[in-house]
Amino acid sequence: MSESQLEAVSGEARELLVDLVETPSVSGEEGPCARKLADFFEEHGREVWIDEVGNVHAPGDDGVLLTSHIDTVPGDIPVRIESTESGDELWGRGSVDAKGPLAAMAIVAVRTGASFLGVVGEEVDSRGSRHAVTVRESAPDTLINGEPSGWNGITLGYRGLLGGTYVATSESGHSSRPENNAIQDAIDWWSAVEAEFEPDEWVPVFERVTPKPTEFDGGISRDGLSVEATMEVQLRVPPEYTVDEVREIADGHLDGGTVHWYDRVEPVMMSPRTSVARAFRAAIRGCDGEPRLLRKTGTSDMNVFADHWDCPMVTYGPGDSDLDHAPDEHLELDEYDRSVQVLETATQRLLEEA
């Protein structure tokens, strides 16, 4: 970066953000970025360690646990500062999802003494959060998960996820025969699942079950004796359902194939009247903002934490989530600064109340 660009990242909070964004951490390769985080806490005299799966733990006051994920999706976006009429922007993979929230959580953990957890693998299988809930002795009093919500947004809910692999096999035969082959069985099953969850057009996306095939492979087997079909599928699950209820409905339409359900994450919806939601509303108003209560149609580590820990939680962080995974991912630095202020105010209030 040029000297003029470096001026835009002056201050510890911005310097940490740029340091993390400049350190690639695609899922499965989070080690160098995790080390940067650990070094930051060591420099501030905090106990810190990296566990066997790569999570960064900096225990502190468990009145609040601040957590976000270290990994990013692939994508090479040159790290740079661009000046616009509305202010400076930091461009780079992960600037929004989720190194902006991650850096904010780390800064505020140091300033307030709150506990901190940086997790790996959120973009793939949430292996970091799944591991963390098994090794911690108890739940925190409050959890704040870091994902982009905008500096004045508070995310209260996420849909769940059911993922599986459908497999069907049929005897090979001439294509003129009327009997279904495995490919038709797969198509018929998925069509029935989609029809089962066909929404009323007035139902918000968050409240729908959204079926989505993500991969398909089919054709004659190598030995030429059968027709095979394999399909990877995902269903997003709203709080109206449990994952098991959606699985039972989907299984009920099987005829000629089987499904191995390998990924399940329960939906989560938190009340806007919890202590942590109130603290954020007050902190946002204190920065002259109007709080926005959000429900996200995807899934995050908050789902995993909520499934294991009975404590109030929200998701919060700077950035426009429409830029998640995008080729133009960038974060407004003024928004980042304001989110750090909001997060610090809310965290301090919660620690004083604990």
Q: Which residues are catalytic?
A: 71, 122
d(CA 250, CA 127) in angstroms, rounded, equals: 26
Q: What does the block give as tokens for 193?
A: 């699942």
For residue 186, which of 148, 215, 154 has the smallest C-alpha distance? 215
Q: What does the block give as tokens for 293?
A: 């209560």
Instruction: Say how many CA atoms lie within 13 Å of 241 toward its Cβ.
Output: 24
Helix 31-43 × helix 12-21 angle, to 10°: 160
d(CA 67, CA 301) in angstroms, rounded, equals: 9
Residue the block writes with tokens 């959580």: 105
For residue 232, which of 331, 186, 163 has the smallest C-alpha distance? 163
Q: Are strands 143-146 and 313-316 parallel, antiparallel or unpaired?
A: parallel
The contacts of residue 7 (CB under 8 Å, 6+ apart) are none
Under a CB-based contact definition with an 8 Å cutoff, are residues 161 and 265 in contact? Answer: yes
d(CA 213, CA 216) in angstroms, rounded, equals: 8
Measure the CA dihedral 227/195/245/212, to 10°.
Answer: 60
Residue the block writes with tokens 């989070």: 30
Look at the chain and count its residues: 354
Q: How far are the Cα atoms of 34, 160, 220, 260 from residue 39, in angstroms, in the given order? A: 9, 34, 55, 42
For residue 36, which of 18, 11, 60, 61 has the smallest C-alpha distance? 18
